[in-house]
Structure 1
């Protein structure tokens, strides 16, 4: 190690000791987090145990929330004067840039009116289309063709351009923040990142054709919606033709507003559709427990029991029957968990027809008409609808 040019105080063989972390060093992010935590703690903010990036404070009858993503910070609350004081404290400590009212955050565009908030990633989608050379492509009515099942072994390998596929799927993953209608498609495409083939790239480009036709689409959060939490749980039994594992999905709503969703392949093979859907119900229940804790931090009361909708009668009845028998003894862990939540009055199961199962869009590729019906029920609207009045 040599001293920088012009520094003459160092003697031969001496090294430097850093008194603070420098940007770019691997410990820098950790040190920044500790510094920010110390400041917010001194301002009487409490860190959420559900989400460590969330800080809340109740002071003089006013409630404030600070949300942190690395060095991007959102501040909101019931008192404009307290918000201004927090921003001043942040500026004195770190010299911040105040961008005013929230309009753009981490690639998410925020449009607000008296009726609610509209979240979209229009600019991000346009950047993806331009980067892929698909600005003038034809429009597809659905993300993937109905019943499409891609194979890790069929088709020519993308030997020269595998990174093109990986980059595209990675960008689609981030787009899922405001586009739950892409959840199944992206989950399916992300299975082939290690060895992408020509059919995989064609399917990914088909998703871009769908995005071209839904460029202005985003999530709508109504200001007049109630705060009742409901959830839909679904599973596509043995959907993976190579591992025979099932696909779980859930969609959680607060009133009419979609707040959480997920599509994920199950870790083990299920022996029946009821078993697959029961495992999905267990995962959904875990998510509901976490959401209740997060809402408690935000001082939002949750009315119990939370209704969990399922379209499988057998899976629906299992939590209400504590009897274990030969066909379900291997499900004891999941069954005990849901049984405890039902007995505690935290959730109650309810049947929903397959046609009205909103989580269905998260587990399979549907025909365009059914896709757009569920698309609208998830709270996805276009900017044209927003500007025309909802």
Structure 2
């Protein structure tokens, strides 16, 4: 919230006079008396401060529930002054406010900054964050990044860990939503971020699986070997997703949860889908021959059905890269991550 012309709302106690403005018709030898504090007056900041600071001191008991009355405070200020609502805080006194836990388009290496003196603290914090990813998928990618520097962490990596913890503190009531009216049909999304690792140019595998509308399994993991082409990285990710999909299908079968004969697997790479349906090998696919045989077998058997999905609707982007606030909130909404803060 911003008060328009804030200093004009201050009450002047002293008598202050000024020369009439140019071109203002006035009697000779007359001056103007100020009724309001103007910008430039020495008394203006003091008068505006006195508007809010009574001479007496009142004892106040601050409770957590008072944050719920912030709307009443905004209405009160609008009634007293002409206010402008600036929306969500993004920049203040040289500080840029971030609403996400990980900055997009930033690549970290194993030699960023200066070495961290205490390795135990870093490892304990990252270990706790890894545990939290079992219920907080929105930090999976960020934790995947900081966990790569467990051997020799630097201050830059430690700062990212602290940023993640601050974000968790602000979203402590956020969690997964499981609908009682959702279907029990399984589906999966697969994607990869090609050569995203700055040190060894390895790709990142990401997948998530839904039971109806409910997110039940996800992963963000660096691939073991570099990929020469983006298609190769996508196909390796598709192989990992297929393995997880089959495991869940067998688990649901043991739990007597019926599944359709064919399960949809969504992918945003047309080349990968062509390779999965083509029995011809060439030099660009010989490095992933095992994955090719594995996926083609299940496609031919009718166990999985590859479905193309546009990048704008690809939910696994959440687990392969960082995003700006708009895209970040869109993915959170689609993954059914909601706030369960009590009233």
TM-score normalised by structure 2 residue count: 0.70
1-side partners of 2:273 and 2:215: how far apart? 22
Aligned length: 248
SS in 2 for 1:249: strand
Q: Deviations over 1:198-246 (max 9, x none)?
A: 0011011111222122111001111110011110000000011111110
Give 1:139 shift: 7.3
User: Equivalent of 1:155, from 91, 113, 126?
Assistant: 113
1:300 counterpart residue number:
257
Question: Do the aligned partners of 1:139 and 1:210 also contact (CA within 8 Å) in 2?
Answer: no
Q: Deviations over 1:86-131 (max 9, x none)?
A: xxxxxxxxxxxxxxxxxxxxxxxxxxxxxxxxxxxxxxxxxxxxxx
Give 1:351 shift: 0.8
Bigger share in strand: 1
Question: Do the aligned partners of 2:205 and 2:220 also contact (CA within 8 Å) in 1?
Answer: yes
2:87 counterpart residue number:
none
Give 1:304 shift: 2.4
Which piece of structure 1 moves more, 350-359 or 325-334?
325-334
Report whether the alignment pairs 1:143 with 2:101.
yes
Give 1:330 shift: 2.1
Question: Do the aligned partners of 1:237 and 1:273 also contact (CA within 8 Å) in 2?
Answer: yes
2-side partners of 1:145 and 1:175: how far apart? 20
* Structure number, greater radius of gyration: 2
2:284 counterpart residue number:
327
Question: Do the aligned partners of 2:207 and 2:237 also contact (CA within 8 Å) in 1?
Answer: yes
SS in 2 for 1:181: helix
Give 1:373 shift: 0.6
Matches within 5 A, 1:175-254: 175-254=132-211
> Which runs of at least 4 in structure 1 moved beyond 4 Å after TM superposition?
none
2-side partners of 1:199 and 1:361: how far apart? 23
Q: Deviations over 1:159-212 (max 9, x none)?
A: 1x2211111111100000111111100000001111111001101111122212
SS in 2 for 1:261: strand
2-side partners of 1:186 and 1:304: how far apart? 36
User: Equivalent of 2:236, from 258, 279, 282?
Assistant: 279
Which piece of structure 1 moves more, 232-241 or 266-275?
266-275
Question: Do the aligned partners of 1:139 and 1:209 also contact (CA within 8 Å) in 2?
Answer: no
CA RMSD of aligned residues (A): 1.4
Give 1:150 shift: 1.4
1:377 counterpart residue number:
334
Q: Deviations over 1:222-272 (max 9, x none)?
A: 111001111000000001111111000100001000110001111111111
Unaligned runs of 5+ in 2: 1-95
SS in 1 for 2:165: helix
Which piece of structure 1 moves more, 187-196 or 296-305?
296-305
Report whether the alignment pairs 1:288 with 2:242.
no
2-side partners of 1:162 and 1:326: how far apart? 44
2-side partners of 1:313 and 1:296: how far apart? 31
Which piece of structure 1 moves more, 146-155 or 179-188?
146-155
1:107 counterpart residue number:
none
TM-score normalised by structure 1 residue count: 0.62
2-side partners of 1:261 and 1:323: how far apart? 32
2-side partners of 1:142 and 1:272: how far apart? 30
2:221 counterpart residue number:
264
